[in-house]
Amino acid sequence: MKKQLHAYYSGRVQGVGFRFTAESVASGLRINGWVKNLYDGRVEIVAEAEEGLLKEFLQRLKEEFSRYIRDVQIDWKAAEGKLDGFSVEH
């Protein structure tokens, strides 16, 4: 079943390649969505795919950046189907 996740990562997650790694992992898994830095130092992600792929995506980010992530907030909901590809937003 396709789902959408909306995540906020906090910690030292800017300036460490987080957004570009997220884009690379998401593209490899064929996940649609976007990632961007927020002014308060967090990183925001919106992504849609099958739930299993999204969980793998989150796990890979956790493995790669565990030393930088202090906290993550994730909200799940049904996919809207409006996202195409995965991009780094500015």
Question: Where along the chain do its domains lie?
Answer: 2-78
Catalytic residue among 12, 19, 32, 70: 19
Band of pLDDT at residue 57, cut at 50, 70 and 90: very high
CATH class in words for 2-78: alpha beta
* Sign of the torsion angle spanned by Cα atoms 59, 40, 24, 31: positive
32: annotated active-site residue: no
Q: Is the pTM of this model over 0.85?
A: yes
Decide if 60 is catalytic.
Answer: no
- Give the distance from CA 58 to its chain's centroid: 7
Which residue among the candidates 12, 32, 37, 67 is catalytic per the annotation? 37
pLDDT given at position 47: 98
